[in-house]
Structure 1
């Protein structure tokens, strides 16, 4: 994936996060790991690796927010 594509995807996932937070669909600590790191979509000078890591953390937060207890029980079987 090219650098500009990563930036666009990063920005899109930030919008998804914002939407989830505004509608109360996210758990309070779901995005703590993302908030701790310092790469944001507007940081054009950061490396592809940094943006990939940010994307993984955002996706992890989204998954944690939409998972339910029953989903976790099924996944553990």
Structure 2
């Protein structure tokens, strides 16, 4: 995926985050917030945006998996694995 496509995906996921926050859904998104990156930070690296997407995706997947009507339990685990892998790459690149 190209950097601009990752930023578009990051934007969409940030909008989902905002939606859940406005709806009062219980999730603190603390790990994502600790990254201090948002989709508007276009100067940040492709790897940093990719890591942020996986971290945010993990939080969103947790919210979805808690909903009894959706079957996303394994999605959260997979996002966490991908976030860990990309996080290690970000650290190595810096």
User: Where in structure 1 do 4 or more consecutive aligned residues deviate above 4 Å?
Assistant: none
Aligned-residue Cα RMSD (Å) equals: 2.1
Give the equivalent residue in structure 1 for 2:30: 32
Cα deviation, 1:11-60, whole Å, max 9, x if unaligned, reads: 110000101111123x233x110011122101111111000000001101
For structure 1, which runs of at least 5 residues remain unmatched after alignment? none
Q: State the TM-score, normalized to the length of structure 1.
A: 0.79
In structure 2, runs of 5+ residues without a counterpart are: 75-94
Q: Distance in 2 between matches of 1:62 and 1:18?
A: 11
Distance in 1, Cα, partners of 2:49 & 2:27: 23
